[in-house]
Amino acid sequence: MNKNYQQIRAAQQKLLKDKQSNEISVLKKAFTRCSQWDDKDEFLDVIYWSRQIIGIVAGIIWGLIPLKGFFGIILFVAVNAGIIYFYFMNFQKIDEEEYGGSWELTKEGFMSSFAGFLVMWIIIYTGVHHT
Check residue 93 and give left, alpha or beta (phi > 0: left; psi -120 to 50: alpha): left
Nearer to another protein, 44 or 81 (CB): 44
Cβ-contact 105, 84 below 8 angstroms:
yes
Q: Which residues contact 81 (CB under 8 A, 6 or more apart)?
A: 106
Asked if 72 is part of the footprint of another protein (rule: CB under 8 A), the reply reads: yes
Determine which residue in the list 64, 66, 79, 85 makes contact with another protein, applying CB under 8 A: 66
Tell me the three state secondary structure of residue 61. Answer: helix
| Helices assigned H by DSSP within 33-131 | 40-64, 69-86, 102-107, 110-129
Determine which residue in the list 12, 13, 22, 32 makes contact with another protein, applying CB under 8 A: 12
Nearer to another protein, 90 or 115 (CB): 115
Give the footprint of another protein on this chain (CB under 8 A). 1, 4-5, 8, 11-12, 19, 40-41, 44, 48, 52, 55, 62-63, 66-70, 72-73, 111-113, 115-116, 118-119, 121-123, 125-127, 129-131
